[in-house]
Chains A and B, each alone.
Chain A
C-alpha cells in the first residue's frame, strides 16, 4: 500500500486531501457526489481483484453488484429481515453470483473478450429478470421504508454515511493489499501472466480463478448493499444496468489496474471530471460517458499502467538499475 515514488505519494496525497476537505466544505452537493463516487470505488476495487490482478476483464460486474443490492432489498422489504443480516446476505449473494459466473465461464475455458461478453450477458439477463418478477418489485423496483437508526443501517446525517463509506473503502483496500502480498495474490498474478506456466508450477488455476470471482463478487455485492442503504431505492436499470459495469472497469484502468490505490484514484478522478464537464456544458445527459470514453481511449493508448503507473516513474524512491520495465 506504500507509495513507491514521489509521484505516487503526491497522487495519493491529493486524493486524501480531497476526501478530508469534504469535512470542512459542508456542501451537501459535494458530499452526495463523493458518496456516490466512493460506492463506485468499492465496485472498482472489486473489479480490480479479477481484472487487475487476475487479468480476467469482466464487463458485467453489475451482475454481482445488483445481486447484492437485490438480495438485501428482497430480504428487508419482502421478508422483513433485520437490515444487518440482510447486509451480510447481500455480500454472500454477490460472492455466490461471482463464483457461479466464474465456475461456468472458466469450466469452458473462456478468456479475454469471450469472458467479458459472457459476464455482460449475465448482467443483462439478470437486469431483465429483475424487471419482470414480482419479488424484485418488477419495473417499479424496491423501496426501503425510511427508518433512520443504527439498527436499520440508515443514517440521516450525510457526514456519518460518508465516514462509514470511507472506513469501508479503507478496509477493502487493506484487504486488497493483504491479498496482493499473499500466496493467493501471487497465484492470481501468475495466472494473469501465464496460465500454462502457472499450472506447471502446481497451481490449480481453475480454483484460483473461481475464488477470485467469489472475492470480487463479495466486494461488488457489498457495494450494491451500500448503494441500497444510502439511497433506499433500487430498480433493475440502476443496479443491473451496464453503466455500473463500465464504471467498475474504467476506474481501475485509468487509475492503475492491479494496484491498491488505482481504483479509488481513477474513480475519484473520473467522477470529478464528469461532474466538471456537466457543469461546464449545462447538464447534457450522458455526456460524462462520452468523456469517460475519450479518457479511456487515451489511457489505454498512453498509460498502460494507469495513473499509478505514470506516477511510479516520477521521482522513484528506490535507486534502480536502468531497465525498461
Chain B
C-alpha cells in the first residue's frame, strides 16, 4: 500500500534521514521505532507531504505522491496525526471530527452525522457536545484518531499516540486501533511505548541516526544487537549477552 524508497533529507549539514526505505502492506500495522532524534518524525513529515525529501520516492497505492502537498495526499487517503495533539479548541468534539469529515462530505448535516458516527465508534459518544479544550490527554488522542478516520483515510500515520498515557489508557487505545484495523484500515506508527508495539505491530522498522538499521517482527528486533545498541549504547548488546551467560 505504501512504498517508501531511499528517502533522504538534510537540514543544513545535518542528515536527518538518509536512504530510508520501508513498505506497509494493506491491512497491516507497521511500527517505526528508534531512539530520540533518530529521524522518525522527519520521515513522517516527508511521507505525508509536510516537507519535501531531498531524494527518494513515496508511492501510495501505486501512485507517486512524492512532494505533493498534504491536502492532496490526504484526499488520496493517507493522513498523519501529530505527536503533540492539538484539538481545534474553539470547537466541540463533534465539530472537531466534522472538520475531518468535511473532506468528502460537503454538507454540514452529513459531515456532522459522519462525525457523530465516528465519535461513537471510538467510544466518544458522551463527549461529542463538550468543547474539545475540556478533553483529557487520552481524550485528545482519541479525538486525533477520530478526526483522521473521519476523512475516510485508508492509511493512518500515527505519531506516538500512546505517549503520555497511563497503562490502562494504552490498552484501551491498543484495542481501538485493532478494531479500526479490522474494519479495513492500515497503520504506520511511530511508537516508544514497547507494550503497544509488541502487541500491535506485525513488523517494525528501526531508525537510528537517520538510517534504517533493522526490520523484522518486534520479537526479532528486541534481540537484534544493532537495535539494542541503538537504544542502550555501544557495546550494550555484548554486555547483555555476557550477563545472560553468567
Determine if A300 is an interface residue (Cβ-Cβ < 8 Å). no
A-B contact pairs, 15 of them (CB 8 A): A181-B108, A183-B107, A183-B111, A186-B91, A186-B98, A194-B88, A199-B70, A200-B74, A200-B80, A201-B79, A201-B147, A202-B74, A202-B100, A325-B131, A325-B133
> Which residues 164-210 in A have Cβ within 8 Å of B in the complex?
181-183, 186-187, 189-190, 192-194, 196-205
B102 contacts A204, C-beta separation under 8 Å: no
Residues of B within 8 A of A183 (CB): 102, 106-108, 111
B82 contacts A196, C-beta separation under 8 Å: yes
Bound-state CA distance A182–B50 (Å) is 27
Interface residues of A (CB under 8 A from B): 181-183, 186-187, 189-190, 192-194, 196-205, 258, 321, 323-325
Q: Which of B91, B100, B102, B107 has the most chain A CB within a 10 Å cutoff?
A: B102
Residues of B within 8 A of A182 (CB): 108
Given contacts A197-B82, A200-B82, 13 further A-B contacts (CB under 8 A): A186-B98, A189-B88, A193-B90, A193-B91, A196-B86, A199-B70, A200-B148, A201-B103, A201-B148, A202-B71, A202-B151, A204-B69, A323-B131
B71 contacts A204, C-beta separation under 8 Å: yes
Bound-state CA distance A323–B130 (Å) is 9
A198 and chain B: residue at smallest CB distance: B99
Residues of B within 8 A of A324 (CB): 134
B108 and chain A: residue at smallest CB distance: A181
> Which residues 78-126 in B have Cβ within 8 Å of A in the complex?
79-82, 86-91, 95, 98-100, 102-103, 106-108, 111
Contacts A182-B108, A183-B102 given; does A194 touch B86 at CB 8 Å: yes
Residues of B within 8 A of A194 (CB): 86-88
Bound-state CA distance A258–B75 (Å) is 28
Determine if B48 is an interface residue (Cβ-Cβ < 8 Å). yes
Bound-state CA distance A196–B95 (Å) is 17
Contacts A197-B82, A201-B100, A202-B74 given; does A186 touch B95 at CB 8 Å: yes
A186 contacts B99, C-beta separation under 8 Å: yes
Residues of B within 8 A of A197 (CB): 82, 86, 88, 147
Bound-state CA distance A54–B130 (Å) is 22
B88 contacts A202, C-beta separation under 8 Å: no
Residues of B within 8 A of A189 (CB): 88, 90-91
Residues of A within 8 A of B106 (CB): 183
Bound-state CA distance A199–B86 (Å) is 13
Bound-state CA distance A190–B98 (Å) is 11
Contacts A187-B102, A190-B99, A199-B50 given; does A258 touch B86 at CB 8 Å: no
Bound-state CA distance A285–B86 (Å) is 47
Give 7 closest A-B pairs by Cβ, nearest first. A202-B74, A325-B131, A193-B88, A323-B134, A202-B103, A194-B86, A199-B70
Bound-state CA distance A197–B75 (Å) is 14
Q: Which of B75, B79, B88, B147 has the most chain A CB within a 10 Å cutoff?
A: B88
Residues of A within 8 A of B89 (CB): 193
Within 8 Å by CB of A325, from B70, B71, B100, B134, lies B134
B127 and chain A: residue at smallest CB distance: A321
Question: Within the complex, what minimum Cβ distance (angstroms) separates B215 from chain A?
Answer: 27
Question: Within the complex, what minimum Cβ distance (angstroms) separates A249 from chain B?
Answer: 19
Residues of A within 8 A of B107 (CB): 183
Question: Within the complex, what minimum Cβ distance (angstroms) separates A191 from chain B?
Answer: 9
Question: Within the complex, what minimum Cβ distance (angstroms) separates B127 from chain A?
Answer: 10
